[in-house]
Amino acid sequence: MRIECPYCGPRGAEEFVYTQDAERARPTDGGASPTEDWAAYVYLRDNLPGARREYWYHQGGCRAWLKVTRDVSTHEILKVELP
């Protein structure tokens, strides 16, 4: 799998680190949300097939954070953008 970094160009996936799902909404009330809301945010995943948006970090290159749209069934990279 290759990821097209906006700064470095196409690079092997081994230079990048997957960090988190970019589609999940973090509770934004400064920690006042019920524990159940935080537990759902941290632990519960739908694991849906198809195109998903994810945050990746270019650890072996420019150290940029990227928002990558990837088909999680085929691992095809569909889009790479800066967050």
Binding site for Zn ion (CB under 5 A): 5, 7-8, 58, 61-62
Tell me how far, at minimum, the Cβ of 80 lies from Zn ion, in Å. Answer: 10
CA distance 7 to 19: 19
Q: What is the Cα–Cα distance from 25 to 43, expressed in whole angstroms? A: 13
Least CB distance to Zn ion at residue 5 (A): 3
Tokens of 51: 């195109």
Cβ at position 4, least distance to Zn ion in Å = 9
- Are the C-beta atoms of 74 and 51 separated by less than 8 Å? no
Pick the closer one to Zn ion by CB: 7 or 38. Answer: 7
What six digits make up the tokens of 35?
A: 């524990």
Closer to Zn ion by Cβ: residue 55 or 61: 61
7 vs 65 by CB, closer to Zn ion = 7
